[in-house]
Structure 1
Amino acid sequence: MKVTVDFDCTPEEARRFMGLPDLTPVHQAYIERMQKAASEGLTPEYFTEIMKTWGPMSEGTMNMWRTMFDQMSGGGKKK
């Protein structure tokens, strides 16, 4: 036996029905930070700070990101 149920609702209605949290303020804060970064330009320090807020990383991983960003921005040492 197969039963199919269709719900016609907005994403907001579905979120409330499922009891999921409203992440609109978090999303808005993220968008504002990304707009600021785009308008002011990314510095290696700002990029490092963003990566730290995205999740726990070891110092080795942070060094990898710093090196990669320096090379992309032309700040790395050329051989």
Structure 2
Amino acid sequence: MKMTIEVDCTPEEARRFMGLPDITPLNEHLVGEMQKRVDANISLLNPEDFLKNWLAMGQGAQEQFRRMMEGSMGGARPKE
């Protein structure tokens, strides 16, 4: 036997019915903090500054990647 029950209620009503806590204030606080951090770091989205930072890390990142790959091959170097 198959039975279907349809309940028409709002998310707030469902939350209360199931006894779940109201986390609206916590959610609003977290969203506010995220907005503050985005606003504080919006200058990082400047393409010119972003490219400068990315290129400055490029050489070091390439060397680190090479060392990681060598380490994963047991330190073996390709024959030249």
Task: Report the TM range for the smaller structure's normalisation.
Answer: 0.5 to 0.7
For 2:19, the equivalent position in structure 1 comes to 19
For 2:53, the equivalent position in structure 1 comes to 74
Structure 1 counterpart SS, 2:9:
coil
How far did 1:13 drift? 0.2
Gaps of 5+ in 1: 43-71
Whether 1:41 and 2:21 are equivalent positions in the alignment is no
Alignment root-mean-square deviation, CA? 2.5
Count of residue pairs brought into register by the alignment:
51
* 1: CA distance, partners of 2:52 / 2:9: 45
More helix by share: 2
Gaps of 5+ in 2: 43-50, 60-80
* 1: CA distance, partners of 2:23 / 2:35: 18
- Report the identity percentage: 46
* 2: CA distance, partners of 1:2 / 1:37: 51
